[in-house]
Structure 1
Amino acid sequence: MTDAPAGTLTTWYLEQTAPADLVPPSGRGREPMIMRAEVPSPELNRFLYVAVGGDIAWTDRLVWTYERWRELVEAPGTETWIAYDRGTPAGYVEMQGQADGAVEITQFGLIPAFRGRGIGGALLAHGVARAWDLAERWPGREQTRRVWLHTCSDDGEHALANYQKRGFRIYDVTTEERAS
């Protein structure tokens, strides 16, 4: 994804602090159908995690138990939005509302066969717009004050650029040595 030195992992933390920060995509590529997974399904979120992250070494959640997946998808303020290309799941965005009025985009990505088609920009813009209006769907939750996420040098090669094109700004960068 970047020119990170071998043996290191760079993580970028990005944010938007107002709905007006969101930059819509230019319209290049196929416009996906995007739907919220309204029925919490641990199996669905695990499937999407593996399908999207399998080739880019997403491994953190692979050890999760069914109960941990269930807790994730049933937590108030957690939503999963899925992009479909002609009926086939193409990618997803998962978000979690936080007590301080922030919404974290916890997972975002496309299944490898759908990368490079312009779907990612549309899906990310849709997900971020939904993050900004999360309070409308979760009564009792305060208005969103900030949408944030992080990406790292192990993620897809276009991840950081896509986030910046959608109006996210870097607010912190960390670099750590990998264990040998």
Structure 2
Amino acid sequence: MNIPVTTWSLEQTDRADLLPAAAPDGDVRIVRAEVPSPEFSRFLYSAVGGDINWVDRLSLSYAQWQEHLDRPGVETWVAYDRGTPAGYVELDPQDDGVVEIVYFGLIPAFRGRRIGGHLLAYGAARAWDLAERWPGRAPTKRVWLHTCSLDGEHAMENYLRRGFKLFHTEVAEQPQQATPGPWPGSHG
């Protein structure tokens, strides 16, 4: 059975578009995972997206994960709450000063604690200054992302609060899939 899925594309076209978020309470830190690690990236992807139908990368091989993570400019920024991974932002630079926020989200246990807005604002700021860490890259002129009706209920609101503007909407039929959950293969 197919279901309609709405996908929204949003962007910032100037660094001044980025609106800050209040820092969450407690010991929340955001750190770049500087060593490309397919195991860690797959853990983050599965843990964050398991309950919201992130399945497109689950079939990638170890070598495919490594190849993606080794691309110059690809960055993973991880939020930690008292030393425990809480969520992440993955940045993927494209041509002509464009940076895509490919993945962003929180592990379910950390949602609703004001970490998401802070992490998104931090990740978008890192997208804007990405060229400073990668000599030879063009300065960022545009940061963009997409979200869909299968994502978390507060995703769109968070993007708009951080200053992202809607530039495209698309509705397409997709096969309804059993969501693998954060424990793929465990059926629970």
TM-score strictly above 0.5: yes
Counterpart AA for 1:132: W
Q: 2:45 aligns with which of 41, 49, 55?
A: 49
- 1:27 CA drift (Å): 3.9
Q: 2:31 aligns with which of 26, 29, 35?
A: 35
The answer to whether the aligner puts 1:119 opposite 2:115 as a matched pair is yes
Q: What residue ranges of structure 1 are gaps of 5+ in the alignment?
A: 1-5
Q: 1:64 aligns with which of 60, 63, 70?
A: 60
Q: 2:143 aligns with which of 142, 147, 162?
A: 147
Q: Secondary structure at the match of 1:63?
A: coil
TM-score calculated relative to the size of structure 1: 0.94
* Cα deviations by residue, 1:93-131 (Å, 9 ceiling, x for unpaired): 000111121000000000000000000011011100010
Give the conservation status (yes or no) of the 8 Å contact 2:78–2:89: yes
Q: 1:172 aligns with which of 164, 168, 172?
A: 168
Give the conservation status (yes or no) of the 8 Å contact 1:22–1:128: yes
Alignment of 1:16-27 (within 5 A): 16-27=12-23
What residue number does 1:160 align with?
156
Give the conservation status (yes or no) of the 8 Å contact 2:27–2:82: no
Give the conservation status (yes or no) of the 8 Å contact 1:25–1:125: yes
CA distance in 1, matches of 2:116, 2:175: 32
What residue number does 1:92 align with?
88
What residue number does 2:181 align with?
none
**Do the aligned partners of residues 46 and 179 (structure 1) sit closer, same or farther apart at CA in structure 2, a change above 3 Å counting?**
closer
Counterpart AA for 1:19: R
CA distance in 1, matches of 2:12, 2:163: 7
Q: 1:130 aligns with which of 126, 132, 139?
A: 126
Q: Secondary structure at the match of 1:70?
A: helix
What residue number does 1:81 align with?
77
Stretches (4+) displaced over 6 A: none
Aligned length: 175
- 1:30 CA drift (Å): 4.2
CA distance in 2, matches of 1:27, 1:79: 22
Q: What residue ranges of structure 2 are gaps of 5+ in the alignment?
A: 177-188
**Do the aligned partners of residues 81 and 28 (structure 1) sit closer, same or farther apart at CA in structure 2, a change above 3 Å counting?**
closer
CA distance in 2, matches of 1:178, 1:82: 30
CA distance in 2, matches of 1:50, 1:20: 33
Give the conservation status (yes or no) of the 8 Å contact 1:104–1:148: yes
What residue number does 1:3 align with?
none
